[in-house]
Structure 1
Amino acid sequence: MDKPIPLSQKIYLMGINPEKGGISSRSYTAMDYVLLGTLFMELYLEKKISFDEKRIIVRTTSSDNQLHRFLLQKMSKAKSPRKIGTWINKLYFSLKQIREEVQSGLVNQHLIKMETRRFLFFKWKTPVATNKQYLFKLERKIENDIFKGSSAEEDLIFLSFIEPAGILHRLFSDRKKRKQAKQQLKKLLLENRVSGAVADAITASQAIAASVAVSVAATSAVTS
């Protein structure tokens, strides 16, 4: 499959453990919030929304994408434009539905399957990558974009979410190479900045995802 997939599906696919399935431990806590951030960026790239003084302006509620329509209609009901961080918090109770829609999109493209797993009396569905060739091709592109650079706006937006999504550790298991990748990524994003409004929106999404990950980690440390 050579057809590009949306940012949200791409970031979710990269968060899956390619061998065992399931979202990797470093991506798990922040993934839902990162998904929301990438979905807002999809809407921006498709000119469905714009950003004005860190607030989202809905340009149209029309879309062929069911998930996009859901988000656009939610935001259009607000009396005045709200900040991206506000919307991410307000959509907290829709995170499961949003995640399932992203999963469904990947299943329909035969990139993942939802596998039933059991432990004692518990049963749940977990994502498993089914098109390893596509996954590894995507991994190589990300590594190439980090070390050789890319000036494409969509690539830069996607790369901005790699670290908040906890994907660097999966891509670069070697600590030394991971450190180099992190430095190169930081340099790339500084030298090829997206517009100020988009950068603010990305920063807001990253900050919420990071705060959730830290909060969960702190809670786990206290209760363990």
Structure 2
Amino acid sequence: METLIPLAQKLYLLGIHPEKGGIVYQSGTAMDYVIVGGLLMEMYLNKNIKFDNKRIVLLSDKSDNEAHRFMLQKMSKAKGPRRISSWINKFYYSLNYIRGEVRDGLVSKRLIKIEDKRFLIFKWKKPFATNKQVLYKLVDEVKESIMRGTSDEESLILLSFIQPAGLLPRLFPDRQERKKARARLKEMMVGNRVSTAVADAISASQAVAASVAISAAAASTSA
């Protein structure tokens, strides 16, 4: 029986290096924001939320998904609709829990394993793909959807995250193919307002985070 993989889990799986493990370099911290965005789109598809003028409107806080419930409960405490980028930044501070839920979902499906790593005082969890056949199949499906086009809503939503997640170099190592893929994605995203709004919010959040990091590094250097 085919394994059903939710959107956020697909994005995380696509970011794992098939041989070395870990998230591919090009995705880096971008994957953290994309996981949050992927979960938001899952809740949109489940009709827990809707998007109105780049703001999130809560429709229902009921869900069987632990990560969804965690996020929906926080949304239910807000006084009113907030901008997508505001929620993405807010959930970023709960990323350890949110990312853990996404990873655990893939582990329970036996698609990845997690190894605890340590270097000096630093500790982290490194994912490895354990079912590479599923991973390679997913890669092929995404590449085909990009190059041949698709009208399926869920597929279009997934594709809208490919560039914000930094996954184009992973999917298309050849520069010319990557250029064509980027152009195809741009064509398909025209009119896809909901997922494009989320992707734009992710890009904006990444830019703010990068600016803060640069400012902090500069302050540290001049001190």
**If the length of structure 1 is used for normalisation, what is the TM-score?**
0.89
Shift of 1:219: 7.6
Q: What per-residue deviation string (whole Å, max 9, x for no partner) do you get for residues 155-209 of structure 1?
A: 111101001101111111111111111112212222xx33x34532332223323
Runs of 5+ consecutive residues of structure 1 not aligned to the other structure: none
Secondary structure of the residue aligned to 1:25 is coil
- Distance of 1:165 and 1:133 partners within structure 2: 22
Shift of 1:220: 8.1
Matches within 5 A, 1:5-84: 5-84=5-84
Runs of 5+ consecutive residues of structure 2 not aligned to the other structure: none
Q: For residue 166 of structure 1, what is the aligned residue in structure 2?
A: 166
Q: For residue 138 of structure 1, what is the aligned residue in structure 2?
A: 138
| Distance 1:223-1:149 versus aligned 2 partners, 3 A rule | farther
Q: What per-residue deviation string (whole Å, max 9, x for no partner) do you get for residues 95-145 of structure 1?
A: 111111111111011111001334356443200011100000000000100
- Distance of 2:122 and 2:197 partners within structure 1: 41
- Distance of 1:166 and 1:198 partners within structure 2: 16
Pair 1:202 & 2:199 matched: yes
Q: Which moved more, 1:122-131 or 1:45-54?
A: 122-131
Pair 1:127 & 2:127 matched: yes
Paired residue type of 1:35: I
> Structure with the greater relative contact order (CA < 8 A, sep ≥ 6): 1 or 2?
1
Paired residue type of 2:205: I
Paired residue type of 2:23: I
Pair 1:186 & 2:186 matched: yes
- Distance of 2:174 and 2:216 partners within structure 1: 28
Query: Given that residues 35 and 99 in structure 2 are in contact (C-alpha distance below 8 angstroms), is that contact kept between their aligned partners in structure 1?
Result: yes
- Distance of 2:217 and 2:184 partners within structure 1: 32
Query: Given that residues 32 and 92 in structure 2 are in contact (C-alpha distance below 8 angstroms), is that contact kept between their aligned partners in structure 1?
Result: no
Secondary structure of the residue aligned to 2:94 is helix
| Distance 1:198-1:143 versus aligned 2 partners, 3 A rule | closer
| Aligned-residue identity in percent | 53
**If the length of structure 2 is used for normalisation, what is the TM-score?**
0.90
Secondary structure of the residue aligned to 1:126 is strand
- Distance of 2:113 and 2:75 partners within structure 1: 31
- Distance of 1:184 and 1:222 partners within structure 2: 41
- Distance of 2:163 and 2:217 partners within structure 1: 21
